[in-house]
Structure 1
Amino acid sequence: MNHLSRRQLLRGAALTGAGLLAAACATPGDPAAQKPAATGAVSAANPLGLDENGPLEVVIFDGGLGDAYATTIHEPLFLSRHPKVRLKHSSTKEISGTLQPRFVGGNPPEVINNDGAQSLDLAALVRAGQLQDLTPLLDAPSWDDPGTKVRDVLLPAAVEAGSFDGKPYSVPYVFMLFGFWHSAKLFAQKGWKAPATWDEFLTLCAAMKKDGIAPFAYAGKYPGYVWEAILTMAVKHGGPEVMQRVDNLEDGAWKADALTKAATAFGELHARGFLLQGTEGLNHTESQARQNGGEVAVIPNGSWLENEQKKVAPADFGYAMFPVPALEAAEAMPGAALHAMPGSGFVVAAKSRNPAAGMEYLRAMVSREGAGKYSGLVSTLTTVRGAALPPQAGPGLKSAAAALEAAGTSLVNWRVHEWYKEIATELDAATGQLMTGGITAVQWAERLQRQADAVKKDSSIKKFSR
């Protein structure tokens, strides 16, 4: 599962700026590129003016959440009000590989669930004018109440996370919480308690190792799982401005004391022998399988984990999470602070045949029925305000919800990985080396600062700020 989702943690090559420029300048002879978007009459029943007899193509990322929520909930809900629209559904595990040729050819689908290891580079799409400005959607009446705008049924964090330079281009649908995940059953059996500080965590790691269980593992092939935790620790220690300065490409931002200290702390896991042997070669499913088998106690992950593992984890595993421990007892933010953010973004292609229908589909998604049934099906929180936990919520989702309640407004997030793919790539590489003892925390910070400086100086890269 914008913003740093599980899928962004995994993402590899995305649609390049050059490819997008080619897409933005589809050849004059391409009829798909020339055909104007379909429109219809605006009315109370059709506030966005979609063509009621036009097409609507929906492409869903087929990952841990599957695509049944689209075929059994959202698409029927949309068609209940617009039955004559010609709806086409497909799913894929490779969003970029599947859709890049269609952007280049000028015939992208209306709705895209931009997720997965091969997700599209949204910043590049925005720069190339390929995404629909969703302001008309946010200002439209909500599906349930004509007196309430769509923007007011979404969590503010969702609107912010889907915006570039103040304009909304994506609707992140899943509200994800990150932390350290473990088996509540195992912790109870061993008498282990969730640590509040890093020193307490290291003490716990020593006890775990003595018991013959590797204390910590992560998806070594996808270092985003661990750099997410490093950045969270840094923000808790130094305050939100730590990553705000990084996002804004301020001089020396990556060399902040809080970032170096956090990187040092995580590097210590390798130095003390607290990592599962071979963790640097694992992918995300392999690290999760090792935890299911009792080989490792704690992994950094997100609130999608329980749903993703429901078919393979022991029935009594008892997923639970605790926040990334505080670096010190006295921090800039409370110990309960979390990295919590909207993810699994949905976008509408501006050059599709019926973009208004794409926006109307999103309007249906963020309805009470659409969000409520979605949560019930995939056991995941959404970005729709006031969405209650489904009755069948598992222990992991309940644990995440409790952590969110404890955090209150102490939630942290950043955008640098989303805005600048060049920095995200270097963050992966440098963190992989940090966690295997190949470089020091100071060298980690220096590498990232050099990359940030290069991005800042490159006039061909559009800059964003918050």
Structure 2
Amino acid sequence: MVKKKTVLSLAALAIGSSVFAGCAGKGTDNEPAQTKSGEQTQSEASQKPSKVPETIKVAFFQGGYGDSWFKWLKSEFEAKYPGVTVELEGSPKMNDILQPRMNSGTNVPDVAFVDASFMKMWGPSGKLVDFTDAYKNEKLPNGKTIEQSADVLVNQSMEVLGKIYGVPWAASPRGIVYNVKMFEQNGWQYPKTWEEMEQLVEKIKAKGIAPFIYPGKYPGYVQPIGISGLLQYGGTEFLEKLTNTKEDQIPVLYGDKTFQKAYGMVEQMVKNKWFLEGSLALNHTESQMEFLRGNAAMIPNGGWLENEMKDSIPEGFVMRMAPIPPAADAVVKESVIPVDLLGFGGIPSASKHIETAKQFLLFASTEEANRKFTELTGSAKAMKYSVDGLKISDFTKSSIEVTTAYKNLTLNYAPQSIGESPGVDAYAAILSGQKSAQDVIDMNVKAAPQKWKEKQDELKAK
């Protein structure tokens, strides 16, 4: 759940993923042959062209990472498998597009890269190929399995009710991005404590600049501040209870003072006017544009920001990723950088090209593909790979550095748990000013017993 270690090192390691492996057993005519030992690496497999021409469809959520990596995968995979054509389908609305297709079993892709929440929904209901064995046993060209190549937290996040239905796609730090030149011109230093942040905010406001901006239409962008507070004020024991909840902890857990402290940080930002006026009406790209225009000094955001806004960044604009600093009364007096495991790649059970789809995902997990993902998107995948020699920006370097310099936080909820705020969208309620932190806590305490019952019934049904 919480880690402090090298997640992505400029010299050696990276986080991320998009990896898949082929299962053992009987295959189609175009399935690569087994070695005498019964094992076969992806590099060996890629040397054998397909005997039967076929087309695999790859659908993906086209958001901050764009489509350049998928175009590269298509080109390289087709070159390695001359009989295979990769047909790409990308859309910012792919999460919504695929839901009815998956439910009906019609017009489904052979490979899908979408939000990780669908893995937990589609996997247990039989809509995804179970590749637990492949994840744990299939060897990549470096001789390691996916399980051995990924971080422990990544492996935990991919397990659903004892099985693995997909592979992690990407990972990104989510902290506070600040305008470097604005800070330098005004002699401001990024704060090491929350009290220093409070002082900095007043200096920024005195200059007639908004300290922060966020997309009001997507309040989850502010969540890294709140969940960092949960760790800082509650410690690892509290987060263990939250992510691996037991029945006897309901509903008392949701009334814990840790929530008051953590949600109080967000409430403070609203009450003391830390955000640019009008933020509530903005979407993510609009808020990011206001930040790039210099109308706010800082923005809660992720490692995808630069790539998503690459066509709109003013010449000479410099930004840097930074962690969430702790308050003086925190239990964990360390700055925290949440790391999100963003999306997964899986194979719908309705695919008619499962073996080739597996090879595609396997190729997507190679060091060559991982490095290319970082180079093309400025972001990391959830596996360990060298980034030596890559042409990456200063912002990407800062995103890498925060994951190595500060305590990392990833919330991996056990299947029976009911999440951070079962009664209401805590961040939407607090940021809009409609609810206080205490109101949200009271709603969560009241809703928790019924939410717990519903979740356990759902698990039994699956």
Secondary structure of residue in 1 paired with 2:172: strand
Show the 5 A alignment for 1:142-153: 142-145=139-142, 147-153=143-149
Moved more, 196-205 or 241-250: 241-250
Structure 1 Cα separation of the partners of residues 95 and 313 of structure 2: 30
Label 1:336 to 1:166 Cα distance change in 2 as closer, same or farther (>3 A). Answer: farther
Preserved contact between residue 214 and residue 276 of structure 1 (Cα < 8 Å):
yes
Is 1:123 aligned to 2:120, yes or no?
Answer: yes
Identity %: 24
Secondary structure of residue in 1 paired with 2:315: coil
Match of 1:431 among 427, 430, 439: 427
State the TM-score, normalizing by the size of structure 1: 0.82
Letter in structure 2 aligned against 1:457 = K
Label 1:76 to 1:191 Cα distance change in 2 as closer, same or farther (>3 A). Answer: same
CA deviations over 1:83-110 (Å, ceiling 9, x no partner): 2234322212222332233223324212
Q: CA deviation at 1:424?
A: 6.8
Per the alignment, residue 8 of structure 1 pairs with none
Match of 2:214 among 198, 210, 218: 218
Show the 5 A alignment for 1:226-241: 226-241=222-237
Per the alignment, residue 343 of structure 1 pairs with 342
Structure 2 Cα separation of the partners of residues 451 and 92 of structure 1: 35
Secondary structure of residue in 2 paired with 1:462: helix
Structure 2 Cα separation of the partners of residues 37 and 88 of structure 1: 22
Letter in structure 1 aligned against 2:175 = G
Secondary structure of residue in 2 paired with 1:310: coil
Is 1:185 aligned to 2:181, yes or no?
Answer: yes
Q: CA deviation at 1:227?
A: 2.3
Letter in structure 1 aligned against 2:159 = S
Structure 2 Cα separation of the partners of residues 452 and 389 of structure 1: 48
Preserved contact between residue 196 and residue 326 of structure 1 (Cα < 8 Å):
yes
Per the alignment, residue 269 of structure 1 pairs with 269
Q: CA deviation at 1:448?
A: 2.7
Query: Where does the alignment leave 5 or more consecutive residues of structure 1 unmatched?
Result: 1-35
For the aligned residue pairs, the C-alpha RMSD in angstroms reads 2.9
Q: CA deviation at 1:385?
A: 0.6
Structure 2 Cα separation of the partners of residues 41 and 114 of structure 1: 27
Structure 2 Cα separation of the partners of residues 196 and 113 of structure 1: 37
Is 1:377 aligned to 2:368, yes or no?
Answer: no
Letter in structure 2 aligned against 1:340 = V
Match of 2:410 among 397, 413, 419: 413
Structure scoring higher RCO (CA < 8 A, sep ≥ 6) equals 2
Show the 5 A alignment for 1:53-452: 53=52, 54-72=54-72, 74-107=73-106, 108-115=108-115, 121-145=118-142, 147-249=143-245, 250-251=249-250, 252-328=252-328, 330-332=330-332, 334-388=333-387, 391-407=390-406, 410-416=407-413, 427-428=424-425, 430-452=426-448
Structure 1 Cα separation of the partners of residues 423 and 396 of structure 2: 32
Preserved contact between residue 173 and residue 340 of structure 2 (Cα < 8 Å):
yes
Structure 2 Cα separation of the partners of residues 389 and 325 of structure 1: 30
Structure 2 Cα separation of the partners of residues 446 and 240 of structure 1: 23
Q: CA deviation at 1:313?
A: 1.6
Preserved contact between residue 217 and residue 275 of structure 1 (Cα < 8 Å):
yes
Per the alignment, residue 5 of structure 2 pairs with none
Label 1:273 to 1:105 Cα distance change in 2 as closer, same or farther (>3 A). Answer: closer
Preserved contact between residue 417 and residue 423 of structure 1 (Cα < 8 Å):
no
Preserved contact between residue 135 and residue 145 of structure 2 (Cα < 8 Å):
yes
Query: Where does the alignment leave 5 or more consecutive residues of structure 2 unmatched?
Result: 1-25
Preserved contact between residue 96 and residue 120 of structure 1 (Cα < 8 Å):
no
